[in-house]
């Protein structure tokens, strides 16, 4: 009787933890609205395209490194401490970034928003994922999709709100206010985090026999990272993120270039500027919604059709659309395409944690998947750099879009070649069989 009561309490607790995870990811996901801030900095600070984009590159690069280290800490120290540290660093980093802009010192901007903000974001990002995978073995794809949906949706709210904030307050004050909000919300939500009791499983849950879901079947960190499957998953994440984050870094400028208001003679220069800024911010906002919805949709679908199939579909469809974008002359059609591409970009983040847990088990998932997020960090540098450098060199993003399409085709090939690693008892049987054949 008491066991049933405890089970019901734990069932309720895991959903409160899921809500806290979504709140944290909403705050952290605002980093994807950087292109909205970048427009103002290029126009008013005298910083060029590559230098301004470097803030975003540094932040994403640090996120990947911090997620790997944070995953180790989550497994050793528990999720509450790591998420709390993440909230403090992300909030302070955002505020210090505002100081750098106000002082017109790009180094302070890099150190604040880029380094400190990236560290906090990485710690905060990996913690909810590692925690929820343990609490929801029965809804692994769905719940990680819900959590990281918040990360995608965060840029939606910032994309809608930030342009008006910047016009009213300026970029520094906007970052001060939002940095304080991030610090408070993330730290408060982090206090709900904890791991489930060892060996706990939801009521009426029977693990699928083909998946390595139990602690006994889980790979160790060293064992997982030495397997070719881990590196294939790393590469698939890297390729999907490189293409997507490169587009995100230029999403607002690309949309602004197609703004329907351009060329209307009845608008004053000031009205034209407001219309163009709003057009860029709207596409960032609406595409960010699909970034979030795609995380939920693809992760949910992956529970039914498999993670490998989901990645294959996303890679191939994106490769085609990246080739088409340079031929698009309609603002509204571009917005539709951007929404789908960001849905696939977000879907990769939502599906990969479950993919990794299916392959290697949940016991050491914080460290195994956290280290895999170095792919995000590497892609966060490579993708925006390719887009910024090629745009600066050629005047357009067309060549970068073609490169992105090629990378996605490589990802499609990898996804079709992937085969799940053997479970522990299968490996043990093979080892015993081999030892029996060795003459003594």
Reference 22, options 275, 209, 295, 328; nearest CA is 295
Residue 90's pLDDT is what?
Answer: 97
Residue 434's pLDDT is what?
Answer: 56
Decide if 431 is inside a domain: no
How many whole angstroms separate alpha carbon 349 and alpha carbon 88?
Answer: 24
Decide if 201 is inside a domain: no
List the CATH number of the domain containing 334. 1.20.1250.20
Residue 340's pLDDT is what?
Answer: 95
Please state the φ and ψ torsions of residue 227, each to the nearest 5 degrees: -85, 145
Decide if 338 is inside a domain: yes
Decide if 437 is inside a domain: no
Decide if 274 is inside a domain: yes
Reference 81, options 366, 334, 328, 440; nearest CA is 366
Number of Cβ within 10 Å of residue 268's Cβ equals: 8
Reference 335, options 276, 256, 261; nearest CA is 256
Residue 430's pLDDT is what?
Answer: 55
HSE toward the beta carbon, residue 150, CA cutoff 13 A: 21
Count the helices and strands in the chain (H runs, E runs).
18, 0
Task: Write out the chain's pLDDT in tens, 440 residues.
Answer: 344 444 557 777 888 998 999 999 999 989 878 877 877 787 777 787 778 888 888 998 898 889 888 888 887 888 999 999 999 999 999 999 999 999 989 999 999 999 999 999 999 988 988 888 888 877 777 777 777 788 877 877 887 788 888 888 988 999 999 999 999 999 999 999 988 887 677 776 666 554 444 555 678 888 998 999 999 999 999 999 999 989 988 887 888 777 665 655 566 666 666 666 677 777 877 887 888 788 889 988 988 899 999 999 999 999 999 999 999 888 889 999 999 999 999 899 889 988 998 888 877 887 888 889 889 888 988 998 899 889 888 888 899 999 999 999 999 999 999 998 876 655 555 555 555 555 55
> Which tokens go with 77?
């120290």
Are the beta carbons of 335 and 133 closer than 8 angstroms?
no
How many whole angstroms separate alpha carbon 154 and alpha carbon 275?
Answer: 23
The contacts of residue 179 (CB under 8 Å, 6+ apart) are: 91, 92, 93, 94, 95, 97, 98
> Which tokens go with 293?
């919805």
Decide if 304 is inside a domain: yes
> Which tokens go with 400?
């970068």
Are the beta carbons of 377 and 365 closer than 8 angstroms?
no
Q: Widest CA span of the chain, in angstroms?
A: 92
Residue with tokens 């979030």: 292
Are the beta carbons of 3 and 128 closer than 8 angstroms?
no
Reported pTM: 0.73
Domain total in the chain = 1
Residue 4's pLDDT is what?
Answer: 41
Number of Cβ within 10 Å of residue 6's Cβ equals: 12
Give the DSSP H or E segment for 408. helix 398-417
> Which tokens go with 338?
């951007």
Decide if 6 is inside a domain: no
Domain range enclosing 321: 15-194+221-422
Decide if 265 is inside a domain: yes
């Amino acid at each position: 009787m008491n066991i049933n009561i405890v089970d019901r309490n734990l069932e309720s607790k895991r959903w409160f933890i899921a809500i806290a995870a979504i709140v944290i990811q909403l705050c952290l996901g605002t980093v994807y609205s950087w292109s909205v801030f970048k427009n103002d900095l290029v126009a008013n600070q005298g910083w060029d395209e590559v230098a301004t984009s470097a803030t975003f590159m540094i932040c994403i690069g640090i996120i990947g490194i911090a997620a790997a280290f944070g995953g180790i800490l989550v497994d050793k120290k528990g999720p509450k401490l790591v998420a709390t540290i993440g909230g403090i660093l992300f909030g302070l980093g955002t505020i210090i970034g505002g100081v750098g802009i106000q002082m017109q010192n790009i180094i302070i901007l890099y150190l604040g928003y880029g380094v400190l903000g990236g560290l906090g974001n990485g710690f905060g990002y990996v913690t909810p994922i590692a925690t929820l995978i343990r609490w929801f073995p029965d809804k692994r794809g769905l719940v990680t999709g819900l959590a990281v949906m918040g990360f995608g949706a965060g840029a939606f709210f910032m994309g809608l709100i930030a342009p008006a904030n910047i016009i009213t307050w300026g970029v520094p004050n906007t970052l001060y206010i939002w940095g304080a909000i991030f610090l408070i919300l993330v730290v408060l939500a982090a206090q709900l985090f904890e791991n489930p009791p060892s060996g706990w499983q939801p009521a009426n849950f029977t693990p699928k026999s083909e998946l390595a879901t139990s602690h006994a079947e889980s790979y160790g960190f060293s064992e997982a990272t030495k397997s070719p499957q881990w590196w294939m998953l790393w590469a698939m994440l890297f390729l999907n993120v490189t293409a997507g984050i490169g587009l995100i870094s230029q999403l607002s400028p690309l949309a602004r270039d197609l703004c329907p208001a351009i060329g209307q003679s009845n608008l004053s220069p000031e009205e034209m500027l407001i219309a163009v800024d709003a057009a860029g911010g709207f596409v960032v906002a609406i595409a960010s919604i699909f970034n979030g919805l795609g995380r939920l949709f693809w992760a949910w679908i992956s529970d039914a059709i498999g993670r490998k199939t989901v990645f294959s579909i996303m890679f191939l469809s994106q490769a085609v659309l990246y080739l088409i974008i340079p031929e698009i002359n309609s603002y509204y059609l571009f917005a539709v395409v951007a929404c789908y591409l960001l849905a696939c970009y977000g879907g990769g983040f939502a599906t990969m944690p479950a993919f990794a847990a299916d392959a290697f088990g949940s016991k050491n998932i914080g460290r195994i998947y956290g280290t895999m997020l170095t792919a995000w960090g590497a892609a966060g540098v490579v993708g925006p750099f390719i887009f910024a450098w090629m745009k600066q060199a050629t005047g357009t993003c067309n060549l970068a879009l073609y490169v992105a399409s090629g990378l996605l085709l490589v990802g499609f090939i990898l996804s079709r070649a992937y085969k799940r690693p053997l479970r522990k008892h299968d490996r043990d049987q093979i080892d015993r069989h081999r030892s029996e054949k060795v003459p003594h």
